């Protein structure tokens, strides 16, 4: 009989302390949410750092490509390739042809 009373008293105490239990559950859930948000924040920070590194690498590559393009487009280089590979020559004054518009 004492066991029945004890279990009924425990149940009665639980019923009386519903608000306390609800607040306890809310605190535990809130703590879990804080941990989850901190984890997500760390992951996003790491991803952001990786994106910044990739941006810097791409920016460096872009600058190198621009320098290479400028070097390949230099007039003296183009003239040298035309002379060597295509056997072209710069026309002399007597070989110049003028075209006039009517």
What confidence tens digit (pLDDT) does each residue in 47-95 have? 999 999 999 999 999 999 999 888 877 877 778 888 888 888 877 777 7
Q: Are 78 and 85 in contact (CB under 8 A)?
A: no
For the whole model, what pTM was predicted? 0.54
Q: At what angle do helices 18-72 and 2-16 cross, to 10 degrees?
A: 50
Q: What is the DSSP letter of 93?
A: G
Return all residues near 14 (Cβ < 8 A) that are at least 6 apart.
Answer: 21
Q: Are 21 and 14 in contact (CB under 8 A)?
A: yes
Q: Are 24 and 32 in contact (CB under 8 A)?
A: no
What confidence tens digit (pLDDT) does each residue in 3-51 have? 668 888 888 888 888 888 889 999 999 999 999 999 999 999 999 999 9
Q: Are 83 and 89 in contact (CB under 8 A)?
A: yes
């Amino acid at each position: 009989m004492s066991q029945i009373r004890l279990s009924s008293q425990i149940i009665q105490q639980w019923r009386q302390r519903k608000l306390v239990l609800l607040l306890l559950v809310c605190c535990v859930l809130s703590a879990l949410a804080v941990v989850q948000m901190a984890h997500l924040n760390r992951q996003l920070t790491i991803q952001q750092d990786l994106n910044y590194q990739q941006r810097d690498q791409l920016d460096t590559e872009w600058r190198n490509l621009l320098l290479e393009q400028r070097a390949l487009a230099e007039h003296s280089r183009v003239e040298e390739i035309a002379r060597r590979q295509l056997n072209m020559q710069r026309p002399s004054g007597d070989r110049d042809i003028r075209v006039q518009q009517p």
